[in-house]
Amino acid sequence: MIAVLLAIALATTTAQAGGRDRATLLADAATAAAAGRRADAKQLLKTAADRFGSVTALLQLARLQSGDGDAAGALDSLQKARLLAPNSEEVLSAIAQLALGARLPVPAAGALDALTRMCPDVAQYQYLFGVALMGAGDAVRATEALQAADRLEPDRPLTLAAIGLALNNRKQFADARPVLTRSLELDPEKPETMSALAEAEASLGDLKGAEQHARRALESAPSDATAHLVIGMVRLQESRYEEARDALVKAAAADPQSPKADYQLSLVYARLGDTAGAERSLASYRRKLAEQNERVKAMRTGASPRDGKPGGAR
Q: For residue 63, what is the domain's CATH number? A: 1.25.40.10
By residue range, what is the domain housing residue 48? 19-86
Does pLDDT of 85 surpass 60?
yes
pTM: 0.82
9 has pLDDT over 50:
no
| In-domain check, residue 26 | yes
In a domain, 70, yes or no: yes
**Does residue 72 fall inside a structural domain?**
yes
Over range 87-102, report the average pLDDT: 95
Is the pLDDT reported for residue 263 higher than 50? yes
DSSP structural state of residue 199: H
Taking alpha carbons only, the member of 259, 195, 112, 170 closest to residue 180 is 195
| Helix, strand, coil abundance in the chain, percent, nearest 5 | 80, 0, 20
Residue 21: predicted pLDDT: 84
Query: pLDDT band for position 6 (50/70/90)?
Result: very low
Over the stretch 182-199, which tens digit does the pLDDT of each residue have? Answer: 999 999 989 999 999 999
Residue 1: Cβ-neighbour burial (10 angstroms; 0-12, 13-18, 19+): exposed
On whether residue 153 sits in a domain, the answer given is no
Asked if the structure places residue 304 within a domain, the reply is: no
> How many separate domains does the chain show?
1
Residue 65 forms part of a structural domain = yes
CB count in 10 Å sphere of residue 151: 11
Residue type, position 186, single letter: L
Residue 34 belongs to some domain of the structure: yes
